[in-house]
Structure formats: C-alpha cells, structure tokens
Amino acid sequence: MSGNWINIINIEDIPEDDVIGVNIDGHHIALYRAENEVFATDNVCTHGHALLSDGFLEDGEIECPLHQGRFCIKSGKAMSEPLTEDIKTYPTRMEGEQVFLKLS
Ligand code: FES
C-alpha cells in the first residue's frame, strides 16, 4: 500500500554513484546511490519517453539520455533545458544495508 515503507533493495545491489531502474507495485522508479545514500525519483522523464536509469548521474544530478535535461536527484527539480516540469521524488530511508521507500 502507498504510505507504507517498502523494503526494496540492499544498497549493495546499486552500483556506487550510479542509477538503476526498478519496478515497485507497477511504478517505474529510478534509484540513485550517491555518497552511500539512496534517492528515488520517477524513472520516466517529464519531457519525453526516456528512462532516467539509462542516463548519467553526476554531482547529484541525473542527465536524461534523450535530450540531456538534468534533474536534481534530491528535490526532483528540473535544472536545465529542455525540461519544464520537475520530477516526482520518493522518500527513502536505510536500515543497515536495507533501503526502504515510500510510494505515496
Ligand atoms: S526526454 Fe528527457 S530531456 Fe527530453
């Protein structure tokens, strides 16, 4: 159920300073591992049909593979053209190496 913390992955299953795409209850989510923290956003770009998990993570921003728009992975804020719409973020927390996410 949305609103509950869901145990989604072990942090070691996400490459360091990288992004992977996962499907949680039918939601396409991008998971970012940066500085041993995990952040989560929607995986589908707000500009077109591209998966951010195919993009490039650098300095806390994910670059979309299609037109190189960049989002902040913490706030979801659209940081560059051609993006006009922010992306949804999801709260995460850690328990040891286990990563939990709330879908709400
Ligand atoms: S589809 Fe992501 S920037 Fe265009």
* Prediction pTM value: 0.94
Quote the pLDDT of residue 15.
96
Quote the pLDDT of residue 36.
84
Q: Does any ligand 1 atom lie closer than 6 A to the CB of residue 48?
A: yes
Q: Which two tokens stand for residue 102?
A: 């709330």
Q: Which two tokens stand for residue 16?
A: 């360091």
Q: Collapsing DSSP states into helix, strand and coil, what is residue 3?
A: coil
CA of 48 to the centre of ligand 1 (A): 5
Task: Give the mean pLDDT per block of 10 residues along the chain (104 residues).
Answer: 85 96 96 94 98 97 98 98 98 96 91
Quote the pLDDT of residue 35.
81
Contact between residue 79 and residue 61 where contact means Cβ atoms under 8 Å apart: yes
Task: Compute φ and ψ for 26, nearest 5 degrees.
Answer: 85, 0
CA of 38 to the centre of ligand 1 (A): 23
What sign does the CA torsion over 47, 44, 30, 67 have? negative
> Which atom of ligand 1 is the closest one to the Cα of 50?
1
Residue with tokens 């500085």: 35
Quote the pLDDT of residue 104.
78
